[in-house]
Structure 1
Amino acid sequence: MNLPIPLARAQTGFRPEALFRPGAVVLVGDAALPETAIILGNLAAGGFQGRLFAVGVAADGFECFGAIEDLPVSPDLAVLCLPPEAQGQAMAALAAKGCFAVVVPVAAPDLVALCEATGIRVFGAHSFGLCLPTVGLNASLAHLPPKAGKLALLCQSAAMARAVLDWATGEDLGFSHIIGIGTNQGIGFALALDWLARDAQAGAVLLDIRRIKNRRMFVSALRATARTRPVVALRPGGRQSDASGTADAVMEAALRRAGVLRATGFEDMLSAVETLARVRPARRTGPDAMAGDRIAIVSNGQGPAQLAADAVVAGGGRLAAWGTAAAQALAVLLPPASTSNPLILPPGQSHRLAEAAAILATMPEVDAVVAIHAPAAGADSMVAANAIVAAARATRGAPVLVGWLGHATAEAGRQMLGRAGIAVFNAPEAAVRGALHLAMDRRNRAAAAELPPQDVLRLVPDRTAVRGIIDAVRQSGRHALTEQEALAVLAAYGQPVIAGEAAADAAEAAEVASRLGFPVAVKLASPDLPRKTDIGGVSLNLGDAGAVRLAAQAMLDRAARHHPDIRLHGLLVQRMAGGGMPRGHELRLRLGDDSMFGPWISFSRGGTTSDFEDDIAFDLPPLNRTLALAMIRRTRGARLLAGFRDLAKVDLDALADSLVRLSQIAVDFPEIADLIVNPLLARGAEVVALDASLTLRPAGAAGVLAIPPYPAELSQGWTARDGRSLMVRPIRPEDATALAEAFTQLTPEDVRWRFFSQIRALPPEQVVRMTQIDYDREMALVAVEQRPGQPDRLAATARLIRDPGRDSGEFAVVTLPGWKGQKLASHMIRRLLHWGEAQGIRTVVGQVLADNQPMLGFVRSLGFSVKRSAEDDEVMEAHINLRPPVASP
């Protein structure tokens, strides 16, 4: 391995701008490598607006040099096309020259070590390259020149990138960015996503994901990006790595939490991109419009329309329905067409397809219109296509997606529609799939931004008891807990469990059963039997002591005879959970682990056949009640929980609480590898765990959540000067209502000083952004009055937002009028600065209006320096250093 001498850290200086807004680019290449010639040609033909250098190769359009040291300026970005044995020296020379952003499109087996030694950040190895069409940069292995546009592509596979580029060129779609992550040994998805989240040039974002390095950074950046634009993700190889489908389901859950649409395959991805890159959803109000899946179909032929209608129903969408008045209006406007959905134009009326689609798009009962055109004898299809283009430009309302059927006579019309920016497909089902993608994207992003209710499940778990159980299990040399131990862990978190006692033998089991009361269940107690029924280790509904003795002894004898190697810890005797009518539901909860996204939670029907259940909902911890309820309702079996024949109705809030408790166990004890509750008996408000198994990770191993948990350890009480008490704690999503109410108590002057403008109310999307935060990159503290039996009431808020990928952050603070003069703001800012130091933040800045003298005096008293902004005379900038830079050796 050819490693350079490490550079002093003070010399490193990677900047994201060097990647995405370069002014000078150098290709360091070996002419013998095929990648060198491809990238040389693409760079030269791209029309880059900055300076292009070449080292080691000569080409027209470049300033050519023999060595990196000879370059007249420090390039922002380098493309390294060298064999592995030459890469170390080149990267050391680039770092010495001041270039710390590199793209590596070739093999680089020592890339991680080279980056660590030089401080350089890379896309690669085997990166497709980097395309920024808006500035003419094409430093990639592309076979076609990408057109400038709004689509951003982040890919690991170069072949996938070329396939998407080829398709987009045919569809006349352009790109703002094409970023080749490659094998993800250097810069990963998170930094690129953080950039795209703030870059106005980027529209819809497309991800090709095979491997992520840091699940928490990835989900955090993904969530930030999806707040402002559609994101579609594809994962090749998911089923290959896990044929059960669990890995795919967990990834879909992670993407859903971030507000991202997951594509199931290449065709599905292209359909989603075709829609989301060209179409914006309609703004509809009312509970029936939230799903966004009410689709109206209009066609010039019955067969294609019926295929489209079938696709809507099969895809889980709804055929839009309108009332008598709307039908009468359609009859007047579109005689003699039908007035139902699908709406069928009569023969010879193909040219009115655009008119009909435009009318349907204005109807409040319609979220999307699918217009289907089939070739018609004697009709000029280009007239119909031109009419659709004109109507699409003039129409305001629901989006119109077009299915333009055929090939020989249809291709010209499809191309014209695509060039006009219309989402056009070659089949009715594909157009419907596009409309359903639009609805799914809307639902995912709305769910990610949903404001939860104020009620919070206030857990008071006995963590000490759980720690004692786990320590005892480890001391005994086990990784698996017995059923009784696993149930005790659940009980420590407030989860009702079935009463039971251990028994050493059959005789003691009969005594325990008599004490508990009949009927009872008797089970073998063994850490080696997660499924005791597999060996006949469970007997139910035993009605007297004699039956218990016989069943218990038979179980023990059978185990000793057929399974002599398992460890037996006697028997567990449990009172049978409430007999009689109505019958309870047997459910299953599980905490598991995924290699890419870490701990996950699933919910499904339970019982002895639950391993074959395919109706399973997945999500990632941490969960709150809102997320847990949504998880339950995603299963088809959720309909049974409302009560069905002899099955009882279930209190969904009580069931959701069980999921929240399981989530908190995952947060508090990351050494748990697997925890299964099966069955969980649910009937009315009774939700009780009847059986559980729990397995620990190896000593020292811990699961890492993809989503940071609530940092409850930062909560502290505080007493004001006048003796009033508050709790200062991190903000949480359930504070949304309290935050909106607190805003109404601010004076107009406070609002202008805090938000730099006069606004009457916080928009819901801003409330979401301020309450649903990523605790790894941002901290918001709230000072609250805790009122028994009522939601917390806010007295002040303060936040510190870390700049992604940097060691600086920006602060803000506001105190309600009734709490000013109590030193509350000082306490909260000092707490935030302490948090920032722990996170590695070196500098904190804030903007203050120049006439806000109270705030200027406040920040100065905390040690901030203040100067006038160079960009706005009415704004002052406050600045403080939390930690001095590391001195050069």
Structure 2
Amino acid sequence: MSSTLSVRGAAGLRAAAMFRPRSLLLLADPALAETAIIARNLAAGGFEGRRRVIGLAVEGFEPASSIESLPEPPDLAVLCLPPARLEPAMAALAARGCFAAVVPGPAPDLGGICARTGMRALGQGSFGLCVAAIGLNASLAHIPPRPGKLALVSQSAALVRAVLDWAAAEAVGFSQIIGIGGNANTGFAMALDWLARDAGTGAVLLDLRRIRNRRAFVSAARAVARTRPVVALRAGGRALDGSGITDRVMEAALRRAGVLRVSGLEDLLSAVETLARVRPRLGGGAAAQRGDRVAIVTNGIGLGHLAADALLEGGGRLAVLASESLAAFAALLPEGWQTGNPLSLGPGSGPRLAEAATMLAALPEVDAVVALHAPAPEEAGDVAAEAMIAAARAGGQRAAPVLVGWAGQATAGRQRQAMAEAGLAVFATPEAAVRGALHLAKDRRNRAAAAELPPAEVLELAPDRRSVRRLLQGALTAGRRGLTEEEALDVCAAYGVPTIPGRRASGPQDAADAAAMLGFPVVLKILSPDLRHKSEVGGVTLGLASPAAVRAEAEAMLARVRARLPAARIEGFLVQRQAARALELRLRLGDDPMFGPWIGFGQGGTAADILEDEAYDLPPLNLALAGQLIGRSRTARLMAGFRDHPAVNQAAVADVLVRLSQIAVDFPEIESLAINPLFADAQGVLAVDAHLALRPPGERGVLAIPPYPAELSRPWRTRAGEVLTVRPVRPEDAEAHGAFFHSLSPEDVRWRFFSPLKELSPSLTARLTQIDYDREIAFIASRRHGDGRDETLGVSRLIRDPSDPVKAEFAVAVSPAMKGQGLGRHLMERLFEWGRANGVQEVIGQVLADNAPMLAFVRALGFAVRRSPEEEDVMEARLPLQG
């Protein structure tokens, strides 16, 4: 039994009205500056739909006296009105059935107006909306956008105009330009959800300032990045946070979504030039996974050396060309000329540059080619440029992309323009061309990592949540938002993090007695809620080897701290057994205003803050993500071992990161938690010190990525008496999902996927197992084998459309061996239960007309079935969900 997944139907109508309207109303005050600009652009754009205007005369628009007099509601309204007139106009539009608007001017309470009227609006201060396919230019553009495959979603009208101006000179075109403006109502998530389904968009640019809904944004960005490059720029990040953490957390969030982050306008334009024109080669195997093996060919070795330096400095690799590959270039080189990478063809070789670039692009050891040209005397530069254009047109998807660096301006500028007009990725300098190649490689890595299939290994956690709850509540009851070091370590221990043995002591003699019980040597630490860094005031002493030494040091420590900070509250001492020295690491849980809780990893110790070695990611983490987080830090090189230092047990460190992530999931009232140092060596890890702070009462952190809903896991008994586990799917189920697919008959596969698939591709497997638990659910029925392996026996899936979340589409499939056991009905009932709990009012599915078992099954569940009006061989099944 099976049903297909689809995005067709009424669920997308509101988004279509906004982003691909069939009719338009301009409601404008002639006194406003933006009115004349938008009216002029609308008139010149050639919008194909019905056009009406209220408030002024616009060529090609039908005049109307009022909203109430319109013969039918428009899909989209453009409101060039002063703030006081916006709400009455939007209320009147909503009453007529128009729910989509663009607000280019000021609108201080736009979010509130939309909430009160039910409208969806781009603004305030929206640049407007351009849709090339339908001739819509409802924007503040100073020049008309050229049609193309690039979509731009921006909060800044100034940045859009700058990109437009550059794009006009570079012959770069746009499928859509969406001005989010102040992001008060219709924001990035809705725009990205639309672009994910827009076949006319080949790449997406994002100008980020403010994200209103972090979960919706990350989910929508990930949906787009599955099928096309997405590039994001954020201006002002460092100005808002001098520490740089906010910027790096945003980069971590974008990385998890598969989005390429760039650092400035120049970088953005370079990425546009590359991603709008070229694509990475198909295939390539494991060696091409990084996508950064670059071959450089030039008519002047100086340019080649500049490019090679830029490539290596940017983290790329010079492609190592096989000897037989190099031999093929002998005919292109002057006699006695050396082959290599960079490959210099010598002076006057411009026309041969395209031939050499094409040959390099065909080599399997090359991921990208950078072809560089400098003007030369008595050389036909125009001919060389034409040869490059011809070579680019002849290249196939199996060839590596070619990026062109055409240096100069007086003669080269015109030649670059010709190549840009022909669709080549062409740059004015070797460094810019290399930057484009590195953008391609990074985009490939980011998108591959976002869809990476993790191993089946799952870290099964059994934390003592009750004791943690007791510790946190005790602190709040005592009026404290900060836990003591001892309490913070107890929280870590409750989640299975190995911690150093220690005892709390009220005074010097008590500390000496505690040390005698723990064994020597010991570490003595002052306990005070007013001292975050105890070592700075002499509040930590190592290597105490006797009770007398402990007592004497405790008395001296009290005197030191009271002399330096007489107002500090002293609550006693913490005595700990001293651990053997090892590599010191720092693991942190913090909170970002835009993306919420984050996890940091890097080198620890007292100098951690000034070492600036910290990599970032977002919870939740699994073991695969934790390993990648470690690998992005410089500390990873120390962990691999050096000189006489053995390698650190990296698996044990990843284990702690996953446990820290689970603390963030389970206790959103925690604002920050730092383990520093975490000692790590070949044997394992040991948490020596920890700090934990709570949020103000009533505040809770919201993860940008929804965690795994483990609470939905339940046992279920088949009619034959076997007990299976029915639980939500997780990324680690990828291997079992592939095995389940192979257990289905060819007929079941055709019924399920509407096509005779032979294999589940890695990208489709990732799509089926790496889901957004806020938007959709997939329940699997799982059998646990004696070796710990899980076998998937059935899957049901319910997906809500983001633009109309009260409707959801279902799919279900059951292994042939489990048919007749009631599993399909149970999996569907679990979908209905989840749907009701999450506000779904109607479940919809599409079933092939010859799938008689499925049609009988859904009718038995109460679905109404009718033939699809769009496809003769498809039946549509609908079931209203009751509360």
What's the counterpart of residue 554 of structure 2? 552
Q: How does 1:30-49 map to 2 (within 5 A)?
A: 30-49=29-48
- Check if 1:654 corresponds to 2:652: yes
How far has the Cα of 1:288 moved from its partner? 2.3
Q: How does 1:167-566 map to 2 (within 5 A)?
A: 167-332=166-331, 334-336=333-335, 337-396=337-396, 397-566=399-568
**Counterpart of 1:244 in structure 2: which amino acid?**
S
How far has the Cα of 1:14 moved from its partner? 7.4
* Equivalent position SS for 1:573: strand
Distance in 2 separating the partners of 1:768 and 1:43: 42
How far has the Cα of 1:110 moved from its partner? 2.3
**Counterpart of 1:164 in structure 2: which amino acid?**
V
What's the counterpart of residue 605 of structure 2? 607
What's the counterpart of residue 846 of structure 2? 847
How far has the Cα of 1:874 moved from its partner? 2.1
Q: Which has the higher contact order (CA 8 A, sep 6+)?
A: 2
- Check if 1:16 corresponds to 2:15: yes
* Equivalent position SS for 1:507: helix
* Equivalent position SS for 1:341: coil
Distance in 1 separating the partners of 2:788 and 2:533: 44
What's the counterpart of residue 799 of structure 2? 801
**Counterpart of 2:776 in structure 1: which amino acid?**
E
Question: Is contact 2:12-2:803 (8 Å) kept?
Answer: no
Residues 812-839 of structure 1: CA distance to partner in whole angstroms, max 9, x if unpaired? 1111122111111111111111111121
How far has the Cα of 1:365 moved from its partner? 0.7
Residues 470-518 of structure 1: CA distance to partner in whole angstroms, max 9, x if unpaired? 0111111100000000000000000000000111111111111111111
- Check if 1:820 corresponds to 2:819: yes
Distance in 2 separating the partners of 1:528 and 1:378: 77
Residues 54-109 of structure 1: CA distance to partner in whole angstroms, max 9, x if unpaired? 10111221111222222222111000011111112211221122211000000011
**Counterpart of 1:387 in structure 2: which amino acid?**
A
Could you tell me which of 586, 589, 608 is aligned with 2:587? Answer: 589
What's the counterpart of residue 8 of structure 1? none
Distance in 2 separating the partners of 1:506 and 1:763: 66
Question: Is contact 2:736-2:792 (8 Å) kept?
Answer: yes
Distance in 2 separating the partners of 1:565 and 1:828: 63
**Counterpart of 1:555 in structure 2: which amino acid?**
M
- Check if 1:792 corresponds to 2:790: yes
Distance in 1 separating the partners of 2:830 and 2:333: 67
Change in CA separation of 1:743 and 1:315 when aligned onto 2, cut-off 3 Å: same
* Equivalent position SS for 1:744: helix
Change in CA separation of 1:550 and 1:799 when aligned onto 2, cut-off 3 Å: same
What's the counterpart of residue 578 of structure 2? 576
Distance in 2 separating the partners of 1:791 and 1:497: 31
Question: Is contact 1:338-1:345 (8 Å) kept?
Answer: no
Question: Is contact 1:14-1:100 (8 Å) kept?
Answer: no
**Counterpart of 2:722 in structure 1: which amino acid?**
R
- Which sits farther off after the overlay, 46-55 or 251-260? 46-55
Distance in 1 separating the partners of 2:756 and 2:203: 32
Could you tell me which of 629, 632, 635 is aligned with 2:630? Answer: 632
What's the counterpart of residue 3 of structure 1? none
How far has the Cα of 1:570 moved from its partner? 0.6
What's the counterpart of residue 717 of structure 2? 719
Distance in 2 separating the partners of 1:650 and 1:267: 41
Distance in 2 separating the partners of 1:329 and 1:461: 63
- Which sits farther off after the overlay, 90-99 or 103-112? 90-99
How far has the Cα of 1:748 moved from its partner? 1.7
* Equivalent position SS for 2:705: coil
- Which sits farther off after the overlay, 387-396 or 325-334? 325-334
Question: Is contact 1:48-1:137 (8 Å) kept?
Answer: yes
Question: Is contact 1:463-1:492 (8 Å) kept?
Answer: yes
**Counterpart of 2:348 in structure 1: which amino acid?**
G
How far has the Cα of 1:740 moved from its partner? 0.2
Distance in 1 separating the partners of 2:611 and 2:829: 52
Residues 407-433 of structure 1: CA distance to partner in whole angstroms, max 9, x if unpaired? 111111000010111000000000000
Structure 1 residue runs without a partner (length 5+)? 1-11, 885-889
**Counterpart of 1:512 in structure 2: which amino acid?**
A
* Equivalent position SS for 1:61: coil
Residues 339-388 of structure 1: CA distance to partner in whole angstroms, max 9, x if unpaired? 10000012221211101111111111100000010010111111000000
Question: Is contact 1:677-1:689 (8 Å) kept?
Answer: yes
Distance in 1 separating the partners of 2:243 and 2:554: 36
Question: Is contact 1:585-1:647 (8 Å) kept?
Answer: no
* Equivalent position SS for 1:459: coil
Question: Is contact 2:354-2:391 (8 Å) kept?
Answer: yes
How far has the Cα of 1:330 moved from its partner? 2.0
What's the counterpart of residue 101 of structure 2? 102
* Equivalent position SS for 1:297: strand
Question: Is contact 2:406-2:429 (8 Å) kept?
Answer: yes
Residues 135-189 of structure 1: CA distance to partner in whole angstroms, max 9, x if unpaired? 1000000000111110000000000110111111111111110000000111010
Distance in 2 separating the partners of 1:882 and 1:685: 55
Distance in 2 separating the partners of 1:74 and 1:883: 32
Question: Is contact 1:841-1:883 (8 Å) kept?
Answer: no
Question: Is contact 1:284-1:364 (8 Å) kept?
Answer: no
What's the counterpart of residue 149 of structure 2? 150
Please report the TM-score for the alignment, with normalisation by the length of structure 2.
0.97
Question: Is contact 2:52-2:62 (8 Å) kept?
Answer: yes
Distance in 2 separating the partners of 1:84 and 1:287: 57
What's the counterpart of residue 689 of structure 1? 687
How far has the Cα of 1:333 moved from its partner? 5.0
**Counterpart of 2:382 in structure 1: which amino acid?**
M
* Equivalent position SS for 1:68: coil
Aligned length: 869
- Which sits farther off after the overlay, 65-74 or 404-413? 65-74
- Which sits farther off after the overlay, 185-194 or 337-346? 337-346
* Equivalent position SS for 1:70: coil
The Cα RMSD (Å) is 1.3
Distance in 1 separating the partners of 2:77 and 2:388: 46
**Counterpart of 2:692 in structure 1: which amino acid?**
L
Please report the TM-score for the alignment, with normalisation by the length of structure 1.
0.96
- Which sits farther off after the overlay, 500-509 or 63-72? 63-72
Distance in 1 separating the partners of 2:569 and 2:461: 35
**Counterpart of 1:26 in structure 2: which amino acid?**
L
Distance in 2 separating the partners of 1:358 and 1:113: 57
How far has the Cα of 1:560 moved from its partner? 2.5
* Equivalent position SS for 2:569: coil
How far has the Cα of 1:302 moved from its partner? 1.2
Question: Is contact 1:779-1:801 (8 Å) kept?
Answer: yes
What's the counterpart of residue 7 of structure 1? none
Distance in 2 separating the partners of 1:575 and 1:103: 65
Question: Is contact 2:301-2:346 (8 Å) kept?
Answer: no
Distance in 1 separating the partners of 2:652 and 2:286: 25
Structure 2 residue runs without a partner (length 5+)? 1-10
Could you tell me which of 757, 778, 787 is aligned with 2:776? Answer: 778
How far has the Cα of 1:13 moved from its partner? 11
**Counterpart of 2:759 in structure 1: which amino acid?**
A
How far has the Cα of 1:332 moved from its partner? 4.0
How far has the Cα of 1:645 moved from its partner? 2.4
How far has the Cα of 1:696 moved from its partner? 0.3
Distance in 2 separating the partners of 1:298 and 1:338: 13
Question: Is contact 1:152-1:177 (8 Å) kept?
Answer: yes
Distance in 1 separating the partners of 2:680 and 2:635: 13
* Equivalent position SS for 1:151: strand
How far has the Cα of 1:566 moved from its partner? 2.2
